[in-house]
Each structure stands twice: as C-alpha cells, then as structure tokens.
Amino acid sequence: MPGQTCCIGRGCYGGGYCEAGTCRAPSVRDMGECSRADECPSGQSCGGPFVCGGGPDAGVNDAGAILPRRCFHCEAPPGAAAFGAACSNGGDCQSGVCSNSRCTLACPIGDAGDAFCRTRGALQRCVNVFFAPVSMGPLTTLGVCAPSCTRDADCPADTACVPRLNYFADRMDFVCAPPPATATARIGEACNPTGANTCRNVLCVGTSATAGYCTAPCTVDTDCPAAAPSCAPITYSRPSGAGQPSRGCGPRPST
C-alpha cells in the first residue's frame, strides 16, 4: 500500500510502484480506469488488465524513468461467457476478466472488495493477483474475485483448494484454482518440502529436510482421504513469516 516499505521489483497495490524502498500510489489514473464494474458507465464492464500510463508521476522508477503499469479499464463487455464460466482470456467473458481459467470480476483489494465479491456468492472473496511487468515496468498487483474454500469438496472437480498469500491482510487465503500442470501428487502422497512443487494442493508438510507428504485444507476427518485420514492442526506461514493456525490432512496420530 502507499507509504509501506517495499523492494524494487515487488508489487504495490492498486497499480502503484516501488521507489526508494517505499510504495507510491499512481498520482493520475487513466481515463476510464476502474477497480470494479460499478465504477463504469451503465452497460460497461471493468475488464483487463490493460497497459496503463496514468501520467508522468504514475510509475517512475528510482532512475526517473516513466514506467507503464497494468490496470483495469471500463469497456464494452468483450465476450459472452458469464461469471464463473470457463475462459482462456478476458475476451471470452462478459466481465472482461479471466483468472484461473474462470470468468470473474475486478475488485478493490481489502474488505470492500471482499464484500463486493460476496454479492456473487457467499464463498467469493477479493484476492490479490500479480501481473507481469510491461517491458521494464513495475509488477502490478490487482484484485479479482475468486471462490474461497476450506476443503477440496468446496471446489469444482477440475480445481483444487490451493493457498494464495494475501499480502494486504498478511494471511494465507485458500481459493479454488486449477492445480499446477506438473503437480499431480494427491493428498498423502510423498513430496519434497525443499524441492519443486509436486502436490496438487501446493502444500507439502516436511517430515525431514527432503521428505514429506502432500496435504490439503480440511475441517473434519471426513474431508481427508484414506492416505492421510486425520484432519489435524497445522501452522502455515503468513507473508510476514508469522504462523497462521489452520487444519490439514495428514497421517493418523500414533497411539
């Protein structure tokens, strides 16, 4: 957020940029720039992200170079696919936004964005998404609605309940998203906590420096498979490094 400490190359919320170790907010927004659809004229969507300039003070690095950034823009609905439908890019969607292969909505990161997303479903929340730099521009962090989850059963069959670090609220969120293409190991199967991710739920609990088992969020034992039948207390790491108590599937405790 503006005024908070940052590192060059790290994202600052709302399309801001990092200068001299501090997040700076864009001083000028592009004409038609938006963070949610109700900021746009009737009949338009808040889609993208697009390449935005925002004026000479909107993205200036430590060397004084003007840097383009990414933002959402009001536009005529580019596609026909409804909220939650499968998509390959924003052009497929009525909203103009495609994330995790599903049509979704742009939202302002924070409590207001969570409330906005919940109008589309009780489990929806506004999550931060990092968008790649434009040329040598800054990493841009914007918000999109995504279905949250507490277990795999909350998610469609082609997705999994996976972690998403929320730097705004300093917590680990869990959202329904397609698992990484190379992550095929199921809950309870072996993984390497210090190696490349192989777990479908992107969570590996280490039992040694190079050995562990894949886990997933859960609320009760019946959320877990026979390979890891116990829904036990587990601590995840927040973006700050502090612990976040939760629950995950694992081996049944020995008696």
User: What is the C-alpha R_g of the chain?
Assistant: 20
Instruction: Return the closest-CA partner of residue 221 out of 153, 145, 175.
Output: 153
Query: In whole angstroms, what is the distance from residue 200 CA to residue 160 CA?
Result: 7
- pLDDT score for 254: 73
Residues 6 or more apart from 77 whose CB is under 8 A from it?
43, 44, 45, 47, 93, 94, 95, 96
DSSP H or E run through 114: helix 111-118
- Select the more confidently predicted residue: 58 or 207: 207
Instruction: Return the closest-CA partner of residue 215 out of 173, 170, 161.
Output: 161
Minimum mean pLDDT range among 34-43, 51-60, 86-95, 165-174: 51-60
- pLDDT score for 111: 87
- Select the more confidently predicted residue: 13 or 131: 131
3-state secondary structure of 153: helix
Minimum mean pLDDT range among 159-168, 187-196, 197-206: 159-168
- pLDDT score for 109: 84
The model carries a pTM of 0.77
Minimum mean pLDDT range among 12-16, 153-157, 215-219: 12-16
pLDDT tens digits, residue range 19-75?
A: 666 776 655 667 888 999 999 999 999 999 888 764 444 444 444 455 567 889 999
CA separation, residue 148 to residues 21, 172, 174 (Å): 32, 11, 6
